[in-house]
Amino acid sequence: MTSTQPRDAAIEQAVAAPPEDLHHPPPLDQPRIAALDGIRGFAILLIIFFHYYDIDGVFVRGTIPAYILSLTRLTWTGIDFFFVLSGFLIGGILLEARASPTYYRTFYIRRAYRILPLYGVVIVLYWLTAPIFPSTGTPVPSYIYLTLTQNIWVALGGKLDVSVWLLVTWTIATEEQFYLVAPAMIRKISPGRLPLLVAAAVVFALILRIALFETSQFDPRATLVLMPARADAFMLGIGSAWLVRDPRGARWLVERRGWLYLLTFALGIVLLVFTKKGWTLDTFAMSTFGFTVTSFFYVALVVLAVSHPEGPVGRFFSLRPLIAMGAIAYGLYLFHSPVKELLHLVFNGHRPRLASWRDVGVDLLAFGITLLLARLSWVHFERPLVRRGHRYSYWPSPVARTRVRREVRGA
């Protein structure tokens, strides 16, 4: 249990227990799982590597750097890992707080404290420094960033400013749109019907991506950025959150653990085939079936990390460096591209590229500064706001908690 959740996690865990096992939660229902922070840290490292190496790399064919580039084409799918993890974490919170009398109010206030302040700071800094950075893209109207509709802008053919200050923020828009529908969905639909809804979402997202890719009315990257087109990632995360909290689901995971490892390995092989064939962004294979495979692969990793923490997957994601990265992942995500852009402009006089040892040095310096800024942001800005958000409780009084416990017993 973290210091930012001193009381609610324990209360929510108790209420989340089913009627027949109120005082003994399912074995996988833990208030804090370190490996989940490690997953967040690993995901942000994948994204930073893609932006620093795969996008900027200018290598001679046949060299070792070029070979590494060919093996890391799918590091951008760290975004998908974030979507799956977001579904798992948010789904878990909402499932446990489903009977809360302040369900919607608490959820949205906490999300606002967590997401919007740092996002707002980055937006303002971008507007203040825009004249300094060279831009080759069409200026994006301010209301796009203020309304968190960057992903819709891209899907309709717009281009985000390639100065990259705000290029990554489309994912925040996609997640925020997911937050608009997830609370009502989990509140209104009984947990027992969630697996059917997850299956329907996976099929719907796949069909929608095929339709979006084939139509000329949308940009091909609509399959990547639109929230309904990524519903499989979010909903598989929610489904896994339900699975580890359901007593039968938890037992099933323990009993079928070997099969889960085998499935994860098989999905990893499929993604290696995608890498070998060069099926990356903007290809039909990746933009349709590829996203589904990626979502299943990452949700399998999340479930393994939670259900088998002493296993190889759980131990890997529990490494201290990954956990430390996970704690500051939001700042790392928002800062890594603008810091790199600024340093390459200062030292090299042009936009980032990776073609020499000098460029490597600039990138390493940029990464170090990004780590420092993200850490300072978390300690002195983000964490105090998160704590303030957690003053709003799902269970505002012991009386309310007792009433809900009685209702659960009588359910």
For 255-296, how does the pLDDT look when each residue is reduced to its tens digit (9 = 90+)?
999 999 999 999 999 999 999 998 988 899 999 999 999 999
Q: What is the mean pLDDT of residues 133-142?
A: 70
Asked whether residue 255 is domain-assigned, the answer is yes
C-alpha distance from residue 347 to each of 129, 197, 342, 363 (Å): 18, 52, 9, 11
Overall domain count for the chain: 1
What average pLDDT does the segment 10-37 reach? 46
Asked, for residue 290, whether it belongs to a domain, the answer is yes
Handedness of CA 228, 250, 247, 199 (dihedral sign): positive
257 lies in which domain range? 8-403
DSSP state of 102: T
DSSP assigned state of 130: T
Half-sphere exposure of 144 (CA within 13 A, CB side): 18
Residue 2 lies in a domain: no
> Does a structural domain hold residue 42?
yes
Residue 1 lies in a domain: no
The rounded mean pLDDT for the chain is 87
What is the phi-psi region of residue 61: left when phi exceeds 0, alpha when psi lies from -120 to 50, beta otherwise? Answer: beta
Is residue 3 situated within a structural domain?
no
Long-range contacts of 210-213 (CB under 8 A, 24+ apart): 210/288, 212/155, 213/284, 213/287, 213/288
Whether residue 396 is contained in a domain is answered as: yes
Predicted local confidence at residue 2, as pLDDT: 38
Query: What is the pLDDT averaged over residues 380-405?
Result: 80
What three-state secondary structure class fits 141? coil
pLDDT for 135 equals 62
Place of tokens 């997830």: 182
> How far from chain centre, in Å, is Cα 85?
5
- Residue 354, helix vs strand vs coil: strand
What residues contact residue 307 under an 8 Å CB cut-off, 6+ apart?
Answer: 28, 244, 250, 253, 254, 257, 260
The answer as to whether 166 is a domain residue is yes
pLDDT at 174 over 70: yes
